[in-house]
Structure 1
Amino acid sequence: MRVLAFFLLVAVAEAGADECAALPPPSVTVKQISAPVTVNPDHDYRAISLLSTQEHRTNQRVLGLTRGTARVVFEIRAPAIVDRTRQWECVSPQITMSYGFSPMTVYVAREFPPEGCAYREILQHEQRHVKTYLDHLAALAPELTEALQRRFATGTPARAPVGQTRALLERELQERWMPFVQREMERVRSSQALIDTPEEYRRVSESCGGEILRVVR
């Protein structure tokens, strides 16, 4: 999911060669979106298996599934000064990027009531996936902050012909930085795959005195 908000505040400079010095330095702030995790017990294991097949291309019987939607939001405040000839402008982008997996939903097959052993085993397994999502987001924060600051927190405002700054900034964020951030977020899939090993599938399936195997057979 991509969201872009842009605010441009413009003043007109009356004179002098130091108009841009009146602007604050460009800045970048990176925030992690905090989203509650919802547990959905309304689907049977066949429906959950179909959801998993669409996402992970697995033929396993799936008893639980964790899904997170990558969300990236850029908010830009861009105080600007236009010189008195109205031929050029200097702009100081103040960029805030928020990112996270929202919504995040844990599915547990409805064949297993919440008070039962099987439900607890499946939920505990899915909580490992939730933790992996959250750990991945936390690990990305320094990398994303460094990359965006290197590009935008240059120490001095940018200069461009009047009317071009907004379009250039929007285009770069949409075409370069949103895909970059989303790609970095999607790298979590390799870590998630390490949890869903054949051994772990077998352990969960055979837990609770065979309760799960009796259902899926």
Structure 2
Amino acid sequence: MRVLAAIWAITLSTPLWADPCDELPKPSVTIKRIEEKIAFNTQYSYKSLTNMGAALARPGKQVLGLTRGNASVSFSMNTPAFIDRTGHWECSSPQITVTYGLSPITVYVAKEFPEGSCAYKEIYEHEMRHVKAYQTHIADIEKLLADALNARFATGSPWRGPVGQTRARLQQEMTERWTSFVQREFNRVEEAQARIDSPEEYERVANACDGEIKKRTR
């Protein structure tokens, strides 16, 4: 019994080797939405707006108002790391922040329709539906972005590899893969925007205000 007790005591007192990589924070992804700033512009004529919105307007239709969103996405990284004694290998923990959104969102109303007029009100309210579609879409894709990026980068344990390669690989992947991924998700909003600009809506706005709009666009 004395021998067994001595062996047990020795086993307990032997220190266990600790992996210094375990001291690093777990990899993480943080998603931040840009607060949309809405700018208003009444400096352009409806003819100028028709040219500006030619790619989106229905053929033969005049553009009385226009809403444009400037899509933006940026990635920032912090990669705390531990380098082994040889100086050849490292473990690192990517801490990635993605900031995305539309800023600014600019609403144009043709200058032929002064603020306060019935026509201005109709056009403005129509364009604000486009603004709402942008805002809803930006909010809706947040979870999709978070799920996709967390699945790729928030692995639960540090990344291991040759010194310096992890950060370089991350930067390359952000540029070549994830920027275009976010841009594709931005572009899906165009389906909702097209539904707002239905033929029926074009006719409704054009004939609103007892013909005021048609008179000013002849």
Instruction: Give the Cα–Cα distance (whole angstroms) in 2 for the partners of residues 200 and 69 of structure 1.
Output: 25
Gaps of 5+ in 1: 1-15
When residues 45 and 105 of structure 1 are mapped into structure 2, their CA distance, relative to the original with a 3 A threshold, is: same
Is it true that 1:114 corresponds to 2:132 in the alignment? no
Is it true that 1:38 corresponds to 2:63 in the alignment? no
Corresponding letter in the other structure for 2:120: Y
| CA contact 2:57–2:63 (8 Å) conserved in 1 | no
Corresponding letter in the other structure for 2:196: I
Deviates more, 1:98-107 or 1:118-127: 98-107
Tell me the number of residue pairs that the alignment of Structure 1 and Structure 2 aligns.
201
Q: What does residue 127 of structure 2 align with? A: 126
Corresponding letter in the other structure for 1:51: M
After superposing on structure 2, the runs of 4+ consecutive aligned residues of structure 1 that deviate more than 6 Å are none
Q: What does residue 146 of structure 1 align with? A: 147
Corresponding letter in the other structure for 1:96: T
Aligned-pair RMSD on alpha carbons?
1.1
**TM-score normalized with structure 1 length:** 0.90
Matched residues, percent identical?
Answer: 53
Deviation at 1:57, TM superposition (A): 5.7
Q: What does residue 7 of structure 1 align with? A: none
Q: What does residue 97 of structure 2 align with? A: 96
Instruction: Give the Cα–Cα distance (whole angstroms) in 2 for the partners of residues 19 and 182 of structure 1.
Output: 38
Corresponding letter in the other structure for 2:150: Q
| CA contact 1:66–1:129 (8 Å) conserved in 2 | yes
Structure with the higher strand share, 1 or 2: 1
Q: What does residue 10 of structure 1 align with? A: none
Instruction: Give the Cα–Cα distance (whole angstroms) in 1 for the partners of residues 76 and 23 of structure 2.
Output: 22
Q: What does residue 27 of structure 1 align with? A: 28
Deviation at 1:35, TM superposition (A): 2.3
Q: What does residue 165 of structure 2 align with? A: 164
**Secondary structure at 1:65 match in 2:** strand
**Secondary structure at 2:79 match in 1:** strand
Post-superposition Cα deviations, 1:53-74, rounded to whole Å, max 9, x if no partner, equal 1x42643200000000110011
Instruction: Give the Cα–Cα distance (whole angstroms) in 2 for the partners of residues 191 and 177 of structure 1.
Output: 23
Q: What does residue 8 of structure 2 align with? A: none
Map of 1:1-217 to 2, 5 A cutoff? Answer: 18-53=19-54, 55-56=55-56, 58-59=58-59, 60-217=61-218
Q: What does residue 3 of structure 2 align with? A: none
**Secondary structure at 2:80 match in 1:** strand
**TM-score normalized with structure 2 length:** 0.90
**Secondary structure at 1:72 match in 2:** strand
Instruction: Give the Cα–Cα distance (whole angstroms) in 2 for the partners of residues 173 and 88 of structure 1.
Output: 23
Instruction: Give the Cα–Cα distance (whole angstroms) in 2 for the partners of residues 130 and 156 of structure 1.
Output: 41
Post-superposition Cα deviations, 1:29-64, rounded to whole Å, max 9, x if no partner, equal 1111102100100000000000101x4264320000
**Secondary structure at 1:56 match in 2:** coil
Gaps of 5+ in 2: 1-16
Instruction: Give the Cα–Cα distance (whole angstroms) in 1 for the partners of residues 57 and 206 of structure 2.
Output: 20
Corresponding letter in the other structure for 1:70: A
Deviation at 1:89, TM superposition (A): 0.9
Corresponding letter in the other structure for 2:104: P
